[in-house]
A and B are shown apart, each in its own frame.
Chain A
């Protein structure tokens, strides 16, 4: 079974892209390309129901709630692989909510795709860190809405963050540029589920804010803290 993990900021076009991939595969051969889909989100998500209805494929969602969605994702990924195998799927697509830009949900097996909206501003790629640096492929959506100049600059900025990344531009509603993505999806090899590891280093520890301390000011927290006047990271034990 093959594995694709899709990440990207909210409303970048992750689900529309997922739709295009499933659509592309089903157009080729319904029996050979059976897809299972898992959506990881924080509060609410509807994509699993939409895709189940539209394509008749097995779908699931989990809400991470108080956990970071990437944390929740890595916790459940092993179960998700087993679930997709039980569905006799050839491909598992995991779509992550991608809210926090300090970590990334990609794993060592399969394909990691970051979805970026061209209308999000030319400096956005520079702000995204591991979600771009650890991805195998960047898909830039909504390219029909911006000027040629900004398209070129947007691409340069992605390359600045990750010089090796493969970039595909698409207007996913009409599916332009999808032929290159489908070629990559077709060439993926099966994953070895014993070898699936998180690709990036998780962020430094769990902080006191994560565990629910609400007081403002570094004086009230432990771990990695920061004062306004210092540029450096500080560590304070409990």
Chain B
């Protein structure tokens, strides 16, 4: 099974913390979809995406099983990161190499035996769609800001790793344009799973998976009546962006 052939992944239920079976039939994530995992701290959000990342086969603490196109995935999906159809980006994920942005991406492209020379610039251009602070090819990756680093990693996962599934664990504080990330997911037909406390990301998603007590409590799809509220929240978010930028520039917010 090659990356290109992956159409959907299916999550089969495991056990709750008290040992009882989780009560959902199955959850299917299709390419091009945006999913949010929501719930209080300790509710099992990270364990849920960990199951997806490890392609759990009834062998993790949650007892869940992950299928790819309805079948058990091959072992190399987990063991070989270049064959793995999932890129995971968390708050802890860093670029540690003491390299320039272009050399960093070249190193990755070389490891992937890619011959397309344009992919480096395309990746930087895409990353610059996600962040307001422009990334230049000659910058050092270790000197990028948190937002620039996340933007570069998402662009790298999209174009160089070209993984069909991207997991983003609480990246909302990193200062990237979430709506553009979601738009990009649709454009490149990726599935993105957000672990999030951000109401905007949660409401923009195609599905919201609600976690409670280590188990999936319910799966929500956005209701029609949420849409006007979503519009207002998007406006509020834009205004917050403006205020944030003013504060960062050392201006008064009353100007």
Which residues of A does B touch, CB under 8 Å? 119, 121-122, 144-153, 155-156, 167-169, 174, 176-177, 179-180
Q: Are B96 and A149 in contact (CB under 8 A)?
A: no
Q: Are A151 and B81 in contact (CB under 8 A)?
A: yes
Q: Does B223 contact A (CB under 8 A)?
A: no
Please tell me which one of the listed residues B50, B104, B156 contacts residue A174 in the complex, with CB atoms under 8 A apart.
B50
Q: Which residues of B lie under 8 Å from residue A167 when comparing CB positions?
A: 79-80
Please tell me which one of the listed residues A119, A146, A176 contacts residue B54 in the complex, with CB atoms under 8 A apart.
A176
The proximity string for B residues 60-92 relative to A, scoring 1 for CB distances below 8 Å and 0 otherwise, is 000000000000000100111110000111101
A155 to B83, CA, bound (A): 12
Q: Which residues of B lie under 8 Å from residue A121 when comparing CB positions?
A: 96-97
A-B contacts, 11 of them at CB < 8 A, read: A122-B107, A146-B96, A147-B89, A148-B87, A153-B108, A155-B82, A167-B80, A169-B79, A176-B50, A177-B78, A180-B79
* B75 and chain A: residue at smallest CB distance: A180
Q: Are B107 and A144 in contact (CB under 8 A)?
A: no
8 Å CB interface, B89-146 against A: 89-90, 92-97, 104-105, 107-108, 111-112
- B interface, size bucket: 20 to 34
Q: Which residues of A lie under 8 Å from residue B29 when comparing CB positions?
A: none
Majority secondary structure of chain A interface residues (helix, strand, loop or mixed): helix
Q: Are B161 and A152 in contact (CB under 8 A)?
A: yes
Q: Which residues of A lie under 8 Å from residue B92 when comparing CB positions?
A: 144-145
Which residues of B does A touch, CB under 8 Å? 50, 53-54, 59, 75, 78-82, 87-90, 92-97, 104-105, 107-108, 111-112, 153, 156-157, 160-161, 163
Q: Are A156 and B96 in contact (CB under 8 A)?
A: no
Given contacts A144-B92, A149-B108, contact A155 B50 (CB under 8 A): no
CB distance from B240 to the nearest CB of A (A): 28
Q: Which residues of B lie under 8 Å from residue A145 when comparing CB positions?
A: 92-94, 96
Q: Which residues of A lie under 8 Å from residue B105 when comparing CB positions?
A: 149
**Extra pairs beyond A144-B92, A147-B156, A153-B111 (15, CB < 8 Å):** A145-B93, A145-B94, A147-B153, A148-B88, A149-B105, A149-B107, A152-B108, A152-B111, A152-B112, A152-B161, A153-B108, A155-B82, A169-B79, A176-B50, A177-B78
Please tell me which one of the listed residues B54, B75, B81, B88 contacts residue A155 in the complex, with CB atoms under 8 A apart.
B81
Q: Are A150 and B79 in contact (CB under 8 A)?
A: no
A119 to B79, CA, bound (A): 18
A148 to B153, CA, bound (A): 8
A155 to B93, CA, bound (A): 17
A146 to B153, CA, bound (A): 10
A169 to B84, CA, bound (A): 12
Q: Which residues of B lie under 8 Å from residue A152 when comparing CB positions?
A: 81-82, 108, 111-112, 161
CB distance from A209 to the nearest CB of B (A): 32
* B152 and chain A: residue at smallest CB distance: A147
A-B interface, 9 closest residue pairs, ranked by CB to CB distance from nearest: A149-B108, A151-B81, A156-B111, A148-B87, A153-B111, A147-B95, A152-B81, A152-B82, A152-B111
A122 to B54, CA, bound (A): 23
A155 to B92, CA, bound (A): 20
Q: Which residues of A lie under 8 Å from residue B112 when comparing CB positions?
A: 152
Q: Which residues of B lie under 8 Å from residue A119 when comparing CB positions?
A: 96
A121 to B79, CA, bound (A): 20
CB distance from B168 to the nearest CB of A (A): 12
* B104 and chain A: residue at smallest CB distance: A149
Q: Are A149 and B94 in contact (CB under 8 A)?
A: no
A167 to B75, CA, bound (A): 12
CB distance from A123 to the nearest CB of B (A): 9
Q: Which residues of B lie under 8 Å from residue A179 when comparing CB positions?
A: 59
